[in-house]
Every structure is written in C-alpha cells, then in structure tokens.
Structure 1
C-alpha cells in the first residue's frame, strides 16, 4: 500500500471512530427464533445468509450457553470471531439461549431459575428441533458452570456432552477472592449482600466497569493502540467489536448474585463439588456426560487452576478432558488463537462424543 493509500485509510478510520458509526458495523450470523419468552429466548443459527434452514442432519445440535452479565453475542462477535459460525462450518447445528436484559423487576431470580427452568427448557426445545436427539452443551464462563449444574440436577435431560470454557469451578483460585473472604469475615458477608439486595442486583453499569478493570492495560493503552493502528481497519474492527460487546453487558439479578456471593465466593461450594439451597444439594459428581474443560493461561478473571478444579469434582463424568489456551477470558473463546486451540479442542471433543450412548 502506498503512503497516499495508507494516509487515506487512516483518515477514513479516524473519521469513522470519531464522528461516524465505527470502522465496521455489526454483522451477526442469521438466526431463527424458536422460542421467545423473557430471559429464555432460544435461537437457531442458520447456515445461509437468507435465513433458510441448514441442511445439517439431526443429532448434531449444540446449545451455546452464555453466562449472566454478558450478552449472548459472545458466541458470534464477528465473522472470524464466531463459535457459532465455526460449528456451522463443521456441519453441526448451533443454538443459543439469550437471557436478555436484567432489571430491578428480575431481582428475585436465582440460580434455580437457570438450572431448573431456563436451561432445561432450552435443552428440551433444542433436542426437539433435532428430532429428539441429545444435544451438546457449550458454555463460556459462568455459562459452563450453569450447564454442568443443570446436568447434575437433571440427569433425565437429553444432554450428550458438556464443554465449559473459562468456567469457574473453585472460587478460592480466583484472583483476590481469598482477600475478599477474609474481609467479609468482619461483617459476616453482610456488606455486599445488603447492598445488592437494596439495589435489586448488580447494575449493568457496574458489570461493564468491572470487566474493563480486569483489562486495565488495554484501557490505558487504548489511545496509543488507536493512533498506531489507524491504517489497520482489521485491528480497529476487532477493538470496536470488543467495545460493543462490553457496552451490551447486562447485570445480575439480586437473588442470583446473593447466592453466588454467599455460597460460591464465601463458602466455595463449587470447589467442594456440592452446592446447597436450603435442604437441597446438587453434586457435580452427578454429572455423567463426557466433559471438556478449557482454562486460559492468561485469564485474569478465571485462572486456569479454577477451571482445572473440575477434574477432581466431576468424578462421575464418563470422561473429563482438560486443556489450556492462551488469551484473555473472552480471548480463549473468540480471540486470534481460539481457532488453533479452543475450537480445535471442541471439534475433537464433539467428534469423540458423537456416538456416545444416551439413555
């Protein structure tokens, strides 16, 4: 590219970032809505741009499970950062459950709403769309944790396998948690829980700020990154895609976050392999399907050791495969190296479980 062309591209990108709509507009993969109720919209990704149904054969359904406090677009950020499109390219049929926005009106929603209602319904409807065949679950971050708990609580569900990417399974391994637990002993954990109950949850604004804080270096070097990459439309497009993703982050329902704080952070139920809701106990050892765990070696939110904890608590699984991938919390799912690591692991894992017996 000539100097004149480079300057022209840089000027065009600078204008797009400052006054225009951005260097690249969202271009999500086409989907068909199969079920549309509050906090449980189920969509099927389609292989054709015109939205026509795919030609994938029944029995290859993959349900993508996002975490709370992150948009379902995490599985389809852009054309080359899309787990959904990757799965379509391998001949599989991906679905995604979308929780939508979380507001003060949803403050009474708890973990049970997800593992007893939202995810089981998504599994059953995805399976029905596949002619009744079992489906594979792929969850990112807390979505993987919820997928595992759903399988443990409901062994009757048609789940063939579960892949959990960057999913916390031992909160004592998370950065800063031991210090938070020590501080919470002074107030018996009431400080955070009281505040969350008062505002009805964790507002979306706070989750966005918290996520940015985990990538502080990125935020601090952002001006320099833009200045040094004004002539690289691709790099700027990736940056704006992540910015858009963070801007769309919803919050947590009050009751859900109270359970997460009280039982998972303070008491580390997940690390012990059993979560408790009053007299009810759900054991990770009750998961019987094959499991793939992927930890991020550079993940500042969920260190690889917090994911690897599942290799000792998922004792009843038909198999537990643990792998690592480079990149940030989101990067191990959709970053530049994901195709060579996480996606390859996922493809191999789904192929190995394709003929697994269900029943």
Structure 2
C-alpha cells in the first residue's frame, strides 16, 4: 500500500478540504474573537454599547510577550469606535492580539460602541443617525455607567471620521482625548479608489451646479453600498497586496 506524505500536494489538498468542512459544520469551535467578557449598557436597534469587565488575571500575553496587569485603574473611560465596514471584533481579534485586553491590562475602563450588522432592511440609516443620534446616545450611556463626564475616544478608520464629525457638530467639551487610526480624512489620496473618486468629483460637481440639485437632498437609501462593492474598493487601494494575501491564504490552507 502506498502511503501519502502529509506534506505532499495531495495531502495538503485533502487537509484543506477537511478544514473547510470543519469550519462550515463546527464554526463555533474556530471562533476566538470577541471573547473578552462584557456587559451591554445600552441598546438602540442594531447599535449597542459594551462595558468590558476588568481582567481577572495578573498577566496577559501580547503577541508572544507576557505583560503584567496594572493594579491601578484610570478614572477616565476609553470608548472604542469601530468603522462601519468592519465589525467590533477588530478590537478583540485574538486573546493575545486584543486592543481591549491590552487597554484593560493598562488599567483603563474600556467601553465599545458596536454598530451592529447592517442589512438591506436598514436602508433608512444615514450619517446623521450615526453622528447626531447614536454617538451622543452612546456617550451618554458611557457617562451614566461610568459616573464620569470626561471620556477618551480611540477610533479606527471610519470610526475616526464619525468621531471627528460628532466632535465638530456637537462641540462636546468633555472629550479628554481622541486618537484616530487609519481614518481616511482625505479619501482622494486612497490609491486607485482615490483616483476614481477624484475623476468623478469634478463632473458630478458640474452636473449638480447645472441642474441645481444636491445629493444631500436625495434619500439616503439610494446611496447605500453593497458589501461586495465596499470590499472591492478597499482591495483596490492595494491590489497587489490583496492578491498576495489571497495566494498566501491558499498556500497556507
């Protein structure tokens, strides 16, 4: 009988097939994201606000390095704001690669605004809902729960844009600190996708002035973008990197 080596091409293909079936049938066994315990302190439709529990250990692992958990607690809470094109798990991706666990270990009181899962049923949502309705309600909930008026905001990507728009629109004087990471403040500089935006901006402006119409006057539901199109736009910002990542995933399966 011929024994096939596990590292042979046939063995790799067989292993990949088995893994694919296991992920489909037993997906909960592969879920290691969003595992840090929390309480939900506010809900409004698909939006909710989480308050993470203090760590019950003396040490955590960050990457491969151990880090001691600070005994002192900072008074000002930190509010994590994710983008709309990614879920809240980006802040709690893996136990050893978790922004939530790192901040907790540093002694911060950590909250998170979870925007929820948007579907076609939520086509009535607009930026005003996020900036002028949900952001104020979420921060009010944090302030009530923590007993502190001042908050610090740590936001990623479009979460940073929402936070900046909220701060500008409300002039909230109790934002102690705001940190935005990878927030596309100037979207015209976003590689190929930015070039497309720049190319259509001027003609769109001419049409708007000629017909005396504004996109702001049109129903928000007409401007919702399907998930696949949003994903494609992100991949076009680094097409070579996206291709290499896909090939590496295929090889490592």
Query: Secondary structure at the residue paired with 1:221?
Result: helix
Matches within 5 A, 1:266-277: none
Partner of 2:118: 102
1:153 aligns with 2:186: no
Partner of 2:21: 19
* 70-79 or 7-16: bigger deviation: 7-16
1:40 aligns with 2:47: yes
Query: Secondary structure at the residue paired with 1:36?
Result: strand
In 2: Cα distance, 1:60 partner to 1:111 partner: 27
Note the residue ranges of structure 1 that are not aligned, 5 or more in a row.
Answer: 50-54, 231-359
Which of the numbers 194, 212, 226 marks the counterpart of 1:203? 226
Deviation at 1:179, TM superposition (A): 4.9
Cα distance change on mapping 1:157 and 1:10 into 2, 3 Å? farther
1:181 aligns with 2:198: yes
Q: Is the CA contact 2:188–2:197 (under 8 Å) kept in the aligned structure 1?
A: no
TM-score, with length taken from structure 2: 0.70
Query: Secondary structure at the residue paired with 1:137?
Result: strand
CA deviation vs aligned residue, 1:59-87 (integer Å, no higher than 9, x gap): 23110011222212221111233211111
Partner of 1:136: 152
Deviation at 1:217, TM superposition (A): 3.2
Query: Secondary structure at the residue paired with 1:169?
Result: coil
In 1: Cα distance, 2:247 partner to 2:149 partner: 51
Higher Rg:
2
Matches within 5 A, 1:67-106: 67-106=83-122
Q: Is the CA contact 1:136–1:160 (under 8 Å) kept in the aligned structure 2?
A: yes
In 2: Cα distance, 1:208 partner to 1:221 partner: 16
Cα distance change on mapping 1:139 and 1:12 into 2, 3 Å? farther
* 141-150 or 5-14: bigger deviation: 5-14
| Pairwise CA RMSD | 3.7
Deviation at 1:93, TM superposition (A): 1.6
Deviation at 1:208, TM superposition (A): 2.7
In 1: Cα distance, 2:20 partner to 2:54 partner: 35
Cα distance change on mapping 1:148 and 1:180 into 2, 3 Å? closer
1:221 aligns with 2:234: no
Partner of 2:211: none
Query: Secondary structure at the residue paired with 1:185?
Result: helix
Cα distance change on mapping 1:206 and 1:226 into 2, 3 Å? closer
1:113 aligns with 2:137: no
Deviation at 1:222, TM superposition (A): 4.8
Cα distance change on mapping 1:187 and 1:173 into 2, 3 Å? closer
Cα distance change on mapping 1:87 and 1:16 into 2, 3 Å? farther
Deviation at 1:148, TM superposition (A): 1.8
CA deviation vs aligned residue, 1:290-309 (integer Å, no higher than 9, x gap): xxxxxxxxxxxxxxxxxxxx
Query: Secondary structure at the residue paired with 2:19?
Result: helix
